[in-house]
Each structure stands twice: as C-alpha cells, then as structure tokens.
Amino acid sequence: MRRGVHRGRVALLAVVVSSMMLTVLGRLWYLQVVSGPYYARAAADSRLRTVPLPAPWGRILAADGRPLTADALVGRGGLETWYRADLAGRAGVRELAVDSRGTVTRVLGERGPQPGNTLTTSVDPRIQRLAEQALAVVAAKAGRESTGAVVVLETSTGRVIALAGHAGRETHGGAMGLDTESLSGASGALIAQRAPGSAHAITAAGAAAAFGFGRRTGIDLPNEATGYIPDSVHPEHGPAAGQGEVLVTPLQLATAYAAAVNGGTLFSPRLAMAVVRPDGTVVRTIAPPAAGRVAASPETMRGIRHTLAAISSRGSALDVHGGPGTSWSACYVPAETPRYVVVVVSSRAGGHAADSAARTMREGIPRLSTTRGT
C-alpha cells in the first residue's frame, strides 16, 4: 500500500517537474526563436549610433571663374533652387559604437559625403556690379520707396550677362505689382509686370505675342511671371502704344529686343553654362534654347533694328513712361554692332530714372570690354 502511494507521489512530482521544464524550454524557445531578432535589433541600437555627414554644396561661379556673389541670383529663390539636384551633393554617414551611457567608444565605419557639382554661369561680375551700382544711384536719389530692375542679355545667344533689381521698401507689392517676399534682388526682372510704354514700340508693327509677350521666357530661375496681353484692347490704349492692359516683364522685353537684331530668334534665357563635377569633368553644358521665331517680315525687322540702333547711336536710350511713376529704357551696346541689349525699368523714381541707369550701362559696358581686351 505504502509502496503504491510512494510511486504515485513520484509520478506526480515527475509530471510537475516535466511541466516546469517544458515551460522554461518553451519560454527559452520563444525568446530565442520568435523574439530573437527583436532583441538583437534592440541590443544593436543600444550600442550603435548613425551620424549623418552633410555634403558640401557645389559652388556657383561667374563667367570669370570666381564665386558668384550676387545673393539674389544665388540664394533662396535663385540658382540654388533651380539647380538643387546638381548642387546638393550626397550626404555621408558615420557609424559609432557607444556604451550604455551613450559615450562613443569607437568608430565602426564611415562613408564620406560626396560634394555637389559646380555650376558655371554667364554672369559677368563687372557688368553685374555696374547694374547694381546704377540702380543704387537711382534709389539713393529717389528714396527707399523706389523699385527697379536691369537686364543685360547677349543678343546672339540669349545668355544672361547681368540681372539686378532693387525692391525698395514695398510691403505689399506696391508700384510694380509685386510680392516683395519674392522680389529679392534680381527677381524684379522676372516678375515685375508693368505697361511698357513706348519701349513696347518694338511690337508696334507686329503681334505682341510673336515677340514672346504674354508667356514666360523660361529662364532658369523660379517665380517668373507671364505678363499679360488682352484678347482685345481699347482703341485709345492699344498694344502698339504700349499702354492699357498690356503687361510685360523686363526680361520679356529684353528677349524681344534681342530677337530684333539676331535674325528673329526668341531665346529662352539662361544664366547657367555648365555643370561640372568636383574632379573637373563636365556633367553637361547648358545653352539657351530657341523658344520661337518672330513671325515678322524682313522689312519690319529691318525697320525695328534701324529705329533702335539709331536711338542708341545718338548717345541715348529709348526713354519712355510706362504708366504713372514708372519709366522704361532700352538700348543696344554697342549701337553699331549690338552685342548686348540692356533694359531698365524704374518705379517711383521719376520719369527719367530708367534713362539715367541705362546711360550708366551704355557708357560703362564698353569701358569694361576694353579693359578685358574683348
């Protein structure tokens, strides 16, 4: 009898012990097999740190190979935005081992950052500086409320040689119809939409749309405006008079003037010339594409060229009023064999302010060219 009871107790104990062992083994299996990857990752995370290594941005160079310092062209809202993919580079990474307190114990590995590419431009820094100085003189005479812009294009290629703007102290766009948060420096040449006055006479003998008015030029800068050409205009304020509802940007007017002397090609202007890797190899070259041809007769084009060249050769610019408080000026440099077209617009600076700035450009550019030996 006792022997049977003893055997029963032993069997019960064996069952209990076996159950406990199975429970422990089951838990171990769960921790090792099912939850193992989770705990492995948690352990790794507790002793590894990944540190990003920012990539140096590529440089933006002027035509002379020096860094371009015109902030309005380079910074936010400028070339850095348009060519971000080329300039940004690729960030690197560094893996560090740390202890339980977060102290770095050693570097486990590193992939260095890849610098961004270099962007070369057609901006002549001396002509750019001359444009900025011309606007500064106008602003100094007219006061802080004045606004203005200067555009210089190479007539045969559509390349941008200089692009400058003065935003004044506008708070809600004001005289030039601009959002001054966007009007940082040269952007005034892209988004200032004003009635162009008699500077619009270039299209008096042809359709304004044929000269690119009413649509973006496609320049490699953001925030460009389209301008505006109405479907119909009042007879007393027709587009040939340059008044009424017709609105153009300085850049649109410059491309139209360039087309008048280059055979009728409307270029989509470009500031950039090439994207270059850090090792000096060229990723790609950038040329202003032809955006269209001016559908005007040869006689019309010759008449326009003769009129504008005659104005420039007399030592003046086409100086006009583009509406209340706004003036435009346009000229070729040099007048006899136009290499550049210069367009100036000024608002709240007096009726002849643009002519003053244009005269500075017309007289100053040849001196700079002589200094360069070109």
Domain ranges of the chain: 119-372
pLDDT over 90 for what percent of the chain? 28
| Mean model confidence pLDDT for the chain | 75
Model pLDDT for residues 268-325, shown as the tens digit of each residue? 999 999 999 999 999 999 999 999 888 777 777 777 767 666 655 554 445 443 444 5
- Is the pLDDT at 71 greater than 80, yes or no? no
Model pLDDT for residues 228-264, shown as the tens digit of each residue? 776 654 444 454 444 456 678 889 989 988 998 898 9
Q: Who contacts 90 (Cβ-Cβ below 8 Å, separation ≥6)?
A: 55, 113, 114
Give the residue among 152, 135, 132 at the shortest CA–CA distance from 70.
Answer: 132
H or E stretch at 12: helix 2-29
- Is the pLDDT at 366 greater than 60, yes or no? yes
Higher pLDDT: 362 or 190? It is: 362
Question: Per mean pLDDT, which of 55-59, 70-74, 309-313, 327-331 is the most reliable?
Answer: 55-59
H or E stretch at 98: strand 92-98
**Cα distance between the two ends of the chain:** 125
- For the segment 57-79, the average pLDDT, to the nearest whole number, is 81
What is the C-alpha separation between 65 and 186, in angstroms, rounded?
21
Question: Is there a contact between 140 and 357 (Cβ–Cβ < 8 Å)?
Answer: no
Query: What's at 21, amino acid-wise?
Result: M
What is the C-alpha separation between 52 and 359, in angstroms, rounded?
52
CATH fold of 119-372: Beta-lactamase (3.40.710)
Residue 216 three-state SS = coil
pTM (2 d.p.): 0.73
171 — pLDDT class (breaks 50, 70, 90):
very low
